[in-house]
A and B are shown apart, each in its own frame.
Chain A
Amino acid sequence: MTIDWLLHESAAPSDVAPLTEYLAGSAEGMLVLPFCAACKHPLDLDQLHCDECAHQERVWEAVDPAGRVTVSIMMNRVDARYVKQDAAYPVIEVSLNSGHRIIVSTSTVSDTPMAPGTEVRLEFVRVGTQNIPRIINTAVKG
């Protein structure tokens, strides 16, 4: 597993609830996210009841690690407690094909935002002891 270019291990999330299932999935190289057990509506990681049908059970499933960029920003103020480098870096909101939205950066060094609508795939990089999804950007950089 590639060590993340961007963040120090201090930025690794804790695997306590509600990230337990998510991080267990990412440890296996899968993007695992919750859905309503009744209507299959995508749910937030910490959501216990379905906002679509009010059902109270959920299931965790591996999803296609792909989607579209909704918007992206550049983080210009770099927090040295968490970030390895000095230069501004992109933070990108992705709407996954599953319907979930996640915040990610890129898998290799980047100094530019990504255009809304760009189709992207994710891979995992290592931050501390956790696997964290990043947009595969090597092809883009050519």
Chain B
Amino acid sequence: MSQSAAITGMGVVICGPKEIPDATGNALSAISMAAQEAGLDLREIDGLLINQNELIADDHLTLDLSRRGAFGTLKVLYELESKGTTMSVLLKQATDMVNAGEADNIVVVFADAAISPNAPSGAAFASMGGDTGYRGLERAGGMLGAVAAYALIAQHYFVERNAGVDDLFAVAQAQRSWAVENPLAWIREPLTREKYDEAPLVAAPLRRLDCARPVSGAAAFIVSKPNSSNSLNPVFVRGMAQRHTMRRRHAPHSPWRPVGAAEVFTDALKQARTTVDAIDNLQIYDAFTIVPLVMMEELGVVGPGEAGSFIAAGNTRHGGSLPINTGGGQISGFYLQGATPLIEAVTQLRGQGGNRQIADAGTSMVVSVGGRLESVNALVMGVQQ
């Protein structure tokens, strides 16, 4: 049986807060790191798939990345935008293309320049919106920035699931417990309730510690057929499913639920020819603490309204029955959009988690979301093809 395509290299660059960000430079650095792991000369790269990222407009990757680097003749080159699910979609596409023989060594890359010494963290995200269309009307209603949109989702969840701030705190604290052991995490001290309550409210009920930590940086993955020049165990993309039920602003459509998430979960497992019991870690796109609560329930891994108590009981921590966001997630780790949960899944499956390593990690599920929980993607990755 011939070997299937796999992730054979990964590179991650995270800038310090004093560094001037450069999306293209960081992307090329991450690509070099990934190529080195895969045992590739840069000129052997024949595919480049770019996560289009216009969340913050100033500095982002374009197709010109292909000229700025030292790649071989490219057989495939494009940018894709599928909101927070883009990186997962691109990894699946790269896998399929290598398996089909359309290219041999494809790079999947994301870069963000969210913060710089002149723009404090969160400032760029706070200004999202504009004066036209729905976003224009929302702004005229006083709703400013992405945090407000997720604060409304949190309130819907609270009302319909009889939940509250204790549940948000449970997420923040559990993820911090993982971040303590992640050298890439922005904050590595255990989180107490006192510290959480001291964090400023951004849009109540969400505090600053309920929000992802913006960083400038890049992530790159090489997808190729594994061979003896790879320095690390390959990670296989085994299945993917998605639903996109764009958020309508009228009855009877839900203003907050990620419709179709349960089907995404079961479809992804079916694609991967595996079962829920095989999933030994779950990495969820967690731009806000409310997201893991909602997604765990909508996927069906816990019942409605049970996520907070499940997390507070320690089930998602190290040694728990279902480890979740084992690098601290986007909240306590770093926010490289859809790359964050993928980086952690690859880290665990390669056994590179150090003190946070899950014993015998064999199968990960990455759940990414886009927009206001309107796009949902589940990607199953494993050490077996």
Interface residue ranges, A against B (CB under 8 Å): 6-7, 11-14, 16, 18-19, 22, 41-47, 51, 70-77, 79, 81-83, 88-93, 95, 99-105, 113, 116, 127, 130, 132
Closest to B201 in A: A76
Interface residue ranges, B against A (CB under 8 Å): 126-127, 131-134, 136-145, 147-148, 151-152, 154-156, 158-159, 200-205, 248-251, 253, 255
Contact status A104-B141, CB under 8 Å: yes
Contact status A12-B152, CB under 8 Å: no
Contact status A103-B141, CB under 8 Å: yes
Q: How far is the CB of B120 from chain A (nearest CB, A)?
A: 12
Which residues on the B side are within 8 Å of A73 (C-beta)? 148, 151-152, 154-155, 203-205
Closest to A46 in B: B133
Which residues on the A side are within 8 Å of B255 (C-beta)? 70, 93, 101
The SS class assigned to the B binding surface is: mixed
Q: How far is the CB of B245 from chain A (nearest CB, A)?
A: 10
Give the distance in Å from the alpha carbon of A127 to the alpha carbon of B137 in the complex.
Answer: 11
Query: A11-B140, A44-B134, A82-B144 known; 6 other A-B pairs, CB under 8 Å?
Result: A19-B133, A76-B202, A82-B139, A100-B250, A103-B138, A132-B140
Contact status B250-A42, CB under 8 Å: yes
Give the distance in Å from the alpha carbon of A90 to the alpha carbon of B204 in the complex.
Answer: 9
Give the distance in Å from the alpha carbon of A132 to the alpha carbon of B178 in the complex.
Answer: 46
Contact status A116-B159, CB under 8 Å: yes
Which residues on the A side are within 8 Å of B127 (C-beta)? 79, 81
From A7, A13, A42, A81, B136 is in contact (CB under 8 Å) with A13
From B132, B134, B141, A105 is in contact (CB under 8 Å) with B141
Which residues on the B side are within 8 Å of A79 (C-beta)? 126-127, 144-145
Contact status B141-A99, CB under 8 Å: no
Contact status B140-A13, CB under 8 Å: yes
Which residues on the A side are within 8 Å of B250 (C-beta)? 41-44, 99-101
Contact status A88-B204, CB under 8 Å: yes
Which 4 residue pairs spanning A and B have beta carbons closest together? A13-B136, A71-B155, A76-B201, A103-B141
Q: How far is the CB of A113 from chain B (nearest CB, A)?
A: 8
From A7, A18, A46, A77, B126 is in contact (CB under 8 Å) with A77
Q: How far is the CB of B328 from chain A (nearest CB, A)?
A: 23
Q: How far is the CB of A132 from chain B (nearest CB, A)?
A: 5
Which residues on the A side are within 8 Å of B151 (C-beta)? 73
Identify the interface centre among B126, B136, B202, B250: most chain A CB within 10 Å of its CB: B250
Return 9 A-B CB contacts under 8 Å, by A number.
A12-B131, A16-B132, A22-B137, A41-B250, A72-B155, A76-B200, A88-B204, A103-B141, A113-B204
CB within 8 Å for A71 and B152 given contacts A11-B140, A76-B200, A102-B141: yes
Which residues on the B side are within 8 Å of A12 (C-beta)? 131, 140
Contact status B144-A75, CB under 8 Å: yes
Contact status B248-A44, CB under 8 Å: yes
CB within 8 Å for A130 and B144 given contacts A70-B255, A76-B200: no
Contact status B249-A44, CB under 8 Å: yes
Contact status A100-B249, CB under 8 Å: yes
Contact status B143-A103, CB under 8 Å: yes
Q: How far is the CB of B263 from chain A (nearest CB, A)?
A: 19
Give the distance in Å from the alpha carbon of A76 to the alpha carbon of B208 in the complex.
Answer: 11
Contact status A71-B159, CB under 8 Å: yes
Give the distance in Å from the alpha carbon of A14 to the alpha carbon of B130 in the complex.
Answer: 9
